[in-house]
């Protein structure tokens, strides 16, 4: 997915979800009064998903470093 960041993917998904929520809310009698609550719940859920994805991406980076034989944050061993 070259050219896509987690932020851009999240924004696209969140925009589509918000449009869907607005469509549903508009069909519910007095639904507009709950619109902000729905939107806040979706934003919170998207924040959690993004944090989990970033955490998983960090774990993958750590595993790739381990495959190379040393942790990414460790200095190179001395050569004698």
pLDDT in tens, 55-77: 887 766 665 666 665 555 555 66
Q: How many CB atoms lie within 10 A of CB 60?
A: 10
Distance from C-alpha of 70 to C-alpha of 47, rounded to nearest angstrom: 32
Residue 41 has pLDDT above 80, yes or no: yes
Average pLDDT value for the chain = 80
Can you give the residue ranges of every domain in the chain?
Answer: 6-59
Q: How confident is the model at residue 27 (pLDDT cuts 50, 70, 90)?
A: very high
pLDDT of residue 6: 79
Q: How far apart are the first and last CA of the chain?
A: 43
Paired tokens of 24? 């549903």
- Residue 55 near residue 65 (C-beta atoms within 8 A): no
pLDDT band at 78; cut points 50, 70, 90? low
Record the tokens describing residue 1, joined without a space: 């997915």
């Amino acid at each position: 997915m070259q050219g896509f960041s987690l932020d851009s993917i999240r924004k696209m998904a969140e925009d589509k979800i918000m449009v869907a929520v607005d469509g549903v809310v508009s069909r519910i009698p007095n639904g507009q009064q709950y619109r902000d609550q729905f939107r806040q719940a979706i934003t919170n859920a998207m924040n959690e998903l993004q944090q989990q994805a970033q955490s998983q991406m960090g774990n993958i980076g750590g595993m790739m470093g381990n495959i190379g034989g040393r942790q990414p944050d460790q200095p190179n061993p001395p050569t004698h």
